[in-house]
């Protein structure tokens, strides 16, 4: 229900085509709102029909034409209204937590490599976040409102990854303890 709003924010930050948006959703925006190109194209058409965004056909040489969208007045009004609505409770889907509880009825050791893979990918993500922070928000630089808000969201991502890494270490230690005593 809020993909429209995520797209609007992205188009306000920078106009772009459906394809470009899909790539953004693979990178920056996708950190907190995922979407495939199918969803994006479909929602873009609906948003254009509703007047939330305006499209401009752009011919390119050596590449297919593209439709560049940008946020229109009604879109900004809709975003403003949405901002003032309370957020609906998020639906949680924490598969690893389910697996950890499931491991009690199977071999806890079977989860170790899985958790280690998670640990690696979260460590890599943290490194990327930290590099992005140094690049975009170097210490002591003056930031405008938009940058301040982007930075606080990024700090949230960084703290989330740090917390997750520490927890995964805790999980690994627990699994090792259980398999060590299980094979005694």
Q: Which residue of 9, 30, 54, 66 would you call a contact of DNA, by CB under 7 A?
A: 66
Question: Among 18, 97, 26, 31, which Cα is nearest to 58's?
Answer: 18
Dihedral over alpha carbons 167, 27, 91, 150 (to 10 degrees): 80
Instruction: Give, as ranges, the residues between 125 and 184 that touch a copy of itself (CB under 8 A).
Output: 145-146, 148-153, 155-156, 159-160, 162-163, 166-167, 170-171, 174, 177-178, 182
> Closer to a copy of itself at the Cβ: 102 or 131?
102
Taking the C-alpha atoms of residue 89 and residue 81, their distance in angstroms, rounded to an integer, is 18
Question: Which of DNA, a copy of itself, none is residue 138 near (CB under 5 to 8 Å by kind)?
Answer: none
CB of 19 to a copy of itself, least distance (A): 20
Q: What are phi and psi of 166, to 5 degrees?
A: -60, -40
Interface residues for a copy of itself in 59-98 (CB under 8 A)?
A: 76, 79-80, 82-84, 86-88, 90-98
Residue 177 binds which one of a copy of itself, DNA, none, with CB within 5 to 8 A depending on kind?
a copy of itself
Q: Residues with Cβ < 8 Å from 19, sequence gap 6 or more?
A: 37, 66
Residue 11 makes contact with DNA by CB under 7 A:
no
Q: Pick out residues in 68-127 that bind DNA (CB under 7 A).
A: 91, 93
The sign one gets for the Cα dihedral 133, 135, 139, 145 is negative
For residue 47, give both structure tokens: 């948003």
Stretch 148-167: interaction string toward DNA, x if CB under 7 A? --------------------
Bridge-based pairing state of the strands 53-58 and 66-71: antiparallel
Give the integer Cα–Cα distance in Å for 172 and 183: 17
* Binding residues for DNA (CB under 7 A): 1, 3, 17-20, 22-23, 34-39, 41, 44-45, 60, 62-67, 91, 93
């Amino acid at each position: 229900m809020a993909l429209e709003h995520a797209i609007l924010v992205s188009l306000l930050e920078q106009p772009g085509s459906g394809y470009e948006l899909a790539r953004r959703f693979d990178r920056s925006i996708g950190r907190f709102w995922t979407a495939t190109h199918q969803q994006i194209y479909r929602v873009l058409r609906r948003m254009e029909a509703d007047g939330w965004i305006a499209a401009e056909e752009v011919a390119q040489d050596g590449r297919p034409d593209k439709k560049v969208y940008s946020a229109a007045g009604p879109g900004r009004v809709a975003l403003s209204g949405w901002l003032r609505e309370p957020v609906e409770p998020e639906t949680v889907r924490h598969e690893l937590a389910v697996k950890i509880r499931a491991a009690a009825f199977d071999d806890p050791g079977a989860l170790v490599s899985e958790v280690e893979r998670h640990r690696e990918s979260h460590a890599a993500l943290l490194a990327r976040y930290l590099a992005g922070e140094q690049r975009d928000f170097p210490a002591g630089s003056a930031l405008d409102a938009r940058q301040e808000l982007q930075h606080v969201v990024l700090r949230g991502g960084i703290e989330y990854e740090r917390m997750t890494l520490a927890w995964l270490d805790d999980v690994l230690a627990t699994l090792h303890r259980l398999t060590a005593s299980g094979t005694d």
